Structure 1
Amino acid sequence: MAERMLVIDDDTAVLESCQAIFGAEGFEVTPTTDPAEGLKLATGNSYDVILCDWKMPGFDGLDVVAELEKRSPESAVVMFSGYPSVGRATEAMKRGAMDFLPKPFTPEEIGAVVQKAIRRKHTQEKKALRRFEKVMDKFPTPSMDDKGPKNIAETVAQNVGVAKANSPWVTLFVLGVLAGAYIGFGGLFAASVTFDAAPIVGIGIKKMIGGAAFSIGLMLVIIAGAELFTGNNLMISSVMIGEITWKKMLAKWGVVYVANFVGSVLLALLFYFSGLWKVGGNALGAAAVKVAYAKVHLSFGEAFVRAVGCNWMVCLAVWMALASRTVIGKIFAIFFPIMGFVAIGFEHCVANMYFIPNGIFLSHWAGVVPAGLDISSLTWGAFLVNNLIPVTIGNIVGGVFFVGLGYWGAYLRPSYAK
């Protein structure tokens, strides 16, 4: 008789993954996005394993686990969470869970956790346990240690990219607007602490300080949660292993790109109406105009090449952040590549969605435009043609070819080809 599994999670991508992984191993999998329905199913049915998410709308997963222990004591309950911590794992165990698994996870990781949970819960069922162990022995024991490169490649291709592709349009748009604003916060912070620093510390140190400050933007995107076009270039690996289609990836890229622009311009308008650009006798505003002017006067080739280097480093920051299972680890993974790309002088399309509109808005104020700048060339058309188009193309090349396809070729293509 096939083992029976109940999966309770409001993320349909997780439900689909569990059905695919454990359905292939002979499980009869019952998925539900509704915790209340999950409790009803657990009451009226007998399940060998119940997988339950920690954070669901209107429900605390820990309370659901405690209730499952009462309603279905014979089931091995496993909790997973996108917000892992030792304290949360300990509390889940106290309330009846057999194990705890942080998201995102690979098929090997969740397979090993389920194996261990069943062994703990049903040690008396030796025959069933031996049959299950024969299937699951190939899975390594999960760890709270940081993930290695191959494991990150699998996580990006099999979980992260698929989840993004299957996210609702409205969710992606809202998170995209937030990401545009978050990157804008990074740009505003960097400008605010460096606009008058060069005469004091020199250009090199000024750029390094600006890069350090700018890194807060991607930290907000990764840790607080948002959708950034440049980071989403890594979805290419999900396309290459056949998990999502080109059409779906490009459609979701388009939604996030437009949303990033909306969020960036929104923050530029907030800065404009705040009057903060008047700091230092309009010096902060003058610096913003100067930055925008310089960006729209790059040649197509310069903008493109700088953008390639930029998203190579940005996607590496995202990649390394996925390696860490702790917030502090993610912060350090993000900090150094982002500080590096800003200090070097690379070009980021979403950052420029803030910097250049910001300069355009401020260029209409007398006393803000630096002497010698012909602001007639600082226009929306120049922004689009001279900067946004070449930088966007370059960012795609840097993220897709040098990171997404690079690690797909290194770790996923051989096994996929088999």
Structure 2
Amino acid sequence: MAYLAPAEFTTKMVDSGESKIFMSTRDTVIRAFMAGATLALAAVFAITVNVQSGQPLLGAVLFPVGFVMLYLMGFDLLTGVFTLSPLALLDKRPGVTLGGVLRNWGLVFVGNFCGALMVAVMFSILFTYGYNTEPSEVGQVIAGIGEARTLGYKAHGIGGMLTLFIRGILCNWMVSMGVVGAMISTNVSGKVIAMWMPIMLFFYMTFEHSVVNMFLFPSALLMGGEFSLGDYLVWNEIPVVLGNMVGGIALTGLTLYTTHVRTAPNRVVVDAKAA
């Protein structure tokens, strides 16, 4: 499958991070918008499969289709730029600053949120016939997810917040591996397989993905979920964003960069007899 060695694709990671930092505002927002919308559509698809089949594993197996599509189209998720953009700063690429990294993150967040919100509005209309009926079965499940994954964490206080944060870390550990997966092959089939595996794992394990949640919780609120906007922000989105950031940087970006780009010197073996 034209596999690239880690030393090759980690250099591509740094190059990609640099290009995202210097990308125009227009292109950054458009690509992020489409990424948020595409991933939201995939979330609806997977939940629909779960509801209709009663098999959560099947939904997890099929969910990565959205992730694959958006990365093959060159769109950007917040979880991806959390991993890639800091590497260009760490590598001291000319002109790359902390402000540039934060600007990239902020623009991608806005674009992802707007794209996911658009899909949330569209499907809340579909599931309620323009807000004229009770939500469909899938809509009711989405509303229930919104309640369970805000008020459910809130009920456990600081322990719930810690659990939420760790689920965010674990999520972007896997999702960022999917982002890297798009770089480890030079043909489409290789990219798809490499991206598919970690995304399937994160979805089935119900880890917390900030961009998926940008769709789930607004759509749940639109369909009568019994939680507030404040609950969504405090007891899901904000700690999940922070967890995703830590997971992407610490468990994927830094580990690959330090061991394949800035490698430590090889050990020198001393011949005891010669000494």
Q: What's the TM-score, normalizing by structure 2?
A: 0.87
Alignment counterpart, residue 18 of structure 2, candidates 159, 162, 168: 162
Aligned alpha-carbon RMSD (Å): 2.1
Q: Does 1:258 align with 2:107?
A: no
Comparing 240-249 with 189-198, which one deviates more in the overlay? 189-198
Q: Going by fraction, where is helix more abundant, 1 or 2? A: 2
Question: How far apart, CA to CA, are the structure 2 residues paired with 1:276 and 1:218?
Answer: 27
Q: Which residue of 1 aligns with 2:86?
A: 236
**1:104-160 Cα deviation digits (max 9, x unpaired):** xxxxxxxxxxxxxxxxxxxxxxxxxxxxxxxxxxxxxxxx93211111111111x21
Q: Does 1:267 align with 2:124?
A: no
Q: Report the alpha carbon displacement of residue 282 of structure 1 after superposing the two structures with TM.
A: 2.2
Q: Secondary structure of 1:413's match?
A: coil
Q: Which residue of 1 aligns with 2:273?
A: none
Question: How far apart, CA to CA, are the structure 1 residues paired with 2:256 and 2:135?
Answer: 49
Q: Secondary structure of 2:182's match?
A: helix
Contact kept, 8 Å, 1:308 with 1:398, in 2: the verdict is yes
Q: Secondary structure of 2:73's match?
A: helix
Q: Report the alpha carbon displacement of residue 338 of structure 1 after superposing the two structures with TM.
A: 0.6
Q: Which residue of 2 aligns with 1:293?
A: 147
Alignment counterpart, residue 337 of structure 1, candidates 171, 194, 198: 198
The higher relative CO (CA closer than 8 Å, separation ≥ 6) is in 2
Q: Secondary structure of 2:40's match?
A: helix
Q: Does 1:188 align with 2:44?
A: yes
Contact kept, 8 Å, 1:208 with 1:342, in 2: the verdict is no
Q: Which residue of 2 aligns with 1:406?
A: 255
Q: What's the TM-score, normalizing by structure 1?
A: 0.58
Which residue identity lines up with residue 168 of structure 1 in the other structure?
Answer: S
Contact kept, 8 Å, 1:235 with 1:404, in 2: the verdict is no
Question: How far apart, CA to CA, are the structure 2 residues paired with 1:381 and 1:154?
Answer: 41
Q: Does 1:308 align with 2:169?
A: yes
Contact kept, 8 Å, 1:288 with 1:358, in 2: the verdict is yes
Which residue identity lines up with residue 164 of structure 1 in the other structure?
Answer: K
Question: How far apart, CA to CA, are the structure 1 residues paired with 2:169 and 2:213?
Answer: 14
Contact kept, 8 Å, 2:47 with 2:138, in 1: the verdict is yes
Question: How far apart, CA to CA, are the structure 2 residues paired with 1:148 and 1:280?
Answer: 53
Percent of pairs with identical residues: 28
Extract unaligned runs of 5+ from structure 1: 1-143, 199-205, 364-368, 370-374
* The structure with more radius of gyration: 1
Q: Report the alpha carbon displacement of residue 253 of structure 1 after superposing the two structures with TM.
A: 0.6
Q: Does 1:248 align with 2:248?
A: no
Question: How far apart, CA to CA, are the structure 1 residues paired with 2:128 and 2:48?
Answer: 9
Extract unaligned runs of 5+ from structure 2: 154-159, 266-275
**1:66-98 Cα deviation digits (max 9, x unpaired):** xxxxxxxxxxxxxxxxxxxxxxxxxxxxxxxxx
Q: How does 1:2-401 map to 2 (within 5 A)?
A: 145-157=2-14, 159-198=15-54, 206-233=55-82, 234-243=84-93, 244-275=96-127, 282-297=136-151, 298=153, 299-363=160-224, 375=226, 378-401=227-250
Q: Going by fraction, where is strand more abundant, 1 or 2? A: 1
